[in-house]
């Protein structure tokens, strides 16, 4: 069989012997990047979001429309329809990733990410992971956040469950409401 020339092929694909193997690899990488993992949801064209649309529970909500699952609906533009709100202290969210994943980090979109005042951004919180829902490991601990979007890479850990616990909901002590627009897990 006459194989086509591919002048721009990576060096590993240059030899005819490696051509078929290399093409198979590239197809597999393409499928992972644009197919199967994309189905789990990706943000900003980068990481897959394992939390997107996964079963999520949380502490008592501020009002109807601000349920826990709003923190994993992939949206943060329309305020009440896209955020989790709770006045319980500590407030908490628990996400079931539906299967065990290798977790590399988290991104949290706080009040400012949804267009609310940055003084409402979550101040202090921690994130724990678990592979069975019973034994938890704290992997992120934040005491003084001001940002509207906070990103927390971690040493990779295998987990099916992620729990966010908010101990200081805003920048001001007199505002008791935790407002989480999105929790992304990658
Ligand atoms: Ca949301």
Distance 13 CA to ligand 1 centre (A): 43
Q: What average pLDDT does the chain have?
A: 83
CA distances from 122 to 15, 74, 118, 128 (A): 55, 19, 9, 17
Distance 70 CA to ligand 1 centre (A): 5
Distance 124 CA to ligand 1 centre (A): 20
Residues 6+ apart with CB under 8 A from 169: 89, 91, 122, 123, 175, 176, 177, 178, 179
Tell me what pLDDT residue 42 has.
Answer: 53
Going by C-alpha positions, the residue among 179, 165, 162 that lies closest to residue 84 is 179
- Residues 132-149: pLDDT tens digits? 999 999 999 999 999 999
Query: Can you tell me the distance from the alpha carbon of 146 to that of 166, in angstroms, rounded to the nearest whole number?
Result: 14
Q: At residue 26, does pLDDT exceed 60?
A: no
DSSP-derived secondary structure for 100-118: EEEEEEEEEE-GGGGTS-G
Of how many residues is the chain composed?
Answer: 186
- Residues 52-106: pLDDT tens digits? 999 999 999 999 999 999 999 999 988 778 999 999 999 999 999 999 999 999 9
Q: Does domain 56-185 sit in CATH 3.50.50.60?
A: no
What pLDDT band is residue 12 in, cutting at 50, 70 and 90? very low
- Residues 110-127: pLDDT tens digits? 999 999 999 999 999 999
Query: Can you tell me the distance from the alpha carbon of 109 to that of 3, in angstroms, rounded to the nearest whole number?
Result: 50
How many other CB atoms sit within 10 Å of the CB of residue 18? 15
Distance 144 CA to ligand 1 centre (A): 23
What pLDDT band is residue 162 in, cutting at 50, 70 and 90? very high
Tell me what pLDDT residue 68 has.
Answer: 98
Domain ranges of the chain: 8-39, 56-185
What pLDDT band is residue 155 in, cutting at 50, 70 and 90? very high
């Amino acid at each position: 069989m006459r194989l086509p020339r591919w002048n721009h092929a990576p060096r590993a694909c240059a030899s005819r012997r490696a051509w078929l193997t290399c093409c198979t690899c590239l197809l597999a990488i393409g499928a992972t990047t644009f197919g199967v993992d994309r189905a789990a949801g990706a943000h900003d064209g980068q990481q897959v979001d394992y939390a997107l649309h996964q079963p999520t529970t949380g502490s008592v909500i501020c009002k109807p429309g601000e349920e826990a699952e709003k923190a994993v609906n992939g949206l943060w533009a329309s305020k009440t329809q896209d955020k989790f709100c709770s006045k319980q202290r500590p407030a908490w969210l628990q996400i079931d990733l539906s299967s065990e994943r290798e977790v590399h980090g988290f991104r949290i979109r706080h009040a400012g990410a949804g267009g609310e005042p940055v003084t409402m951004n979550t101040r202090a919180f921690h994130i724990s992971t678990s592979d069975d829902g019973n034994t938890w490991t704290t992997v992120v601990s934040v005491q003084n956040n001001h940002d509207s979007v906070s990103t927390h890479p971690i040493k990779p850990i295998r987990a099916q469950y992620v729990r966010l616990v908010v101990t200081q909901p805003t920048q001001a002590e007199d505002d008791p409401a935790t407002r989480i627009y999105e929790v992304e897990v990658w």
